[in-house]
Amino acid sequence: MTRILMNRAGWIGLIMLCVAVVPEGWADEATGPVRRSGQINTFRNGDDGATQKGVEWPADRFLEYGDGTVFDRLTGLIWMKKVNCFGALKWAEALDRIAGLNAGTHPCSGEGYEIGTYNDWRLPNIRELQSLLDAGRLGPSLPEGHPFSGLDSVREFWSGTTVDDRNLQAWYLNFLTGETQQVVKSGTKFVWPVRAGQR
């Protein structure tokens, strides 16, 4: 009996230790590692603009590397600076074009990116696209002062996320309105490559 109680106490101690080492800002009451929405105006007491819950955005959120890429200090992702370097493509074509970018056969034109600089580009998942949104802005729904170019002529971007029960559809994000929607993969949307944050 004593041995079982010690094991339980040991587990309880381990769980308490894990809770104690959560990084600052990751557990703001019960919100967890969810970033703020970007909404700063308040329209009613208790709304998102008033409560400002979530992980605070870095003061200088985006860092331009000078090679046609932009580092997001909030998420750790690296994005192409020019958001529409491939034009509008079908979903499968978008995946093929990114594979070609990684292989050095499909350049991404504009903003100083040289083909072959990195070989781990991919189509972002829908949550990664949504992480760029600033809920307090429209047209485009990106944080003020963002460094991205090409958004004046395009707005809808593919994600690599397929709609689970509809293999023929994928999620996309409209950066003009901030809306996430699903559409058949045979339609055309723009492609915004992303990679993990190792330079």
E strand or H helix that includes residue 179 = strand 179-184
DSSP track, 4-53: HHHHHHHHHHHHHHHHHTPPTTS-STT--SPBP------SSTTSHHHH--
* pLDDT given for residue 198 in this prediction: 62
Is 30 within a domain? no
Is 45 within a domain? no
Task: Decide: pTM greater than 0.85.
Answer: no
* pLDDT given for residue 29 in this prediction: 41
Q: Which residues of the chain, if any, have pLDDT below 50?
A: 1-32
* pLDDT given for residue 110 in this prediction: 60
Q: Which amino acid is at 156?
A: E
* pLDDT given for residue 61 in this prediction: 92
CA Rg value for the chain: 20
Is 34 within a domain? no
CATH number for the domain spanning 99: value is 3.10.100
Domain containing 122 equals 59-195
Is 85 within a domain? yes
* pLDDT given for residue 192 in this prediction: 94
Is 1 within a domain? no
* pLDDT given for residue 48 in this prediction: 67
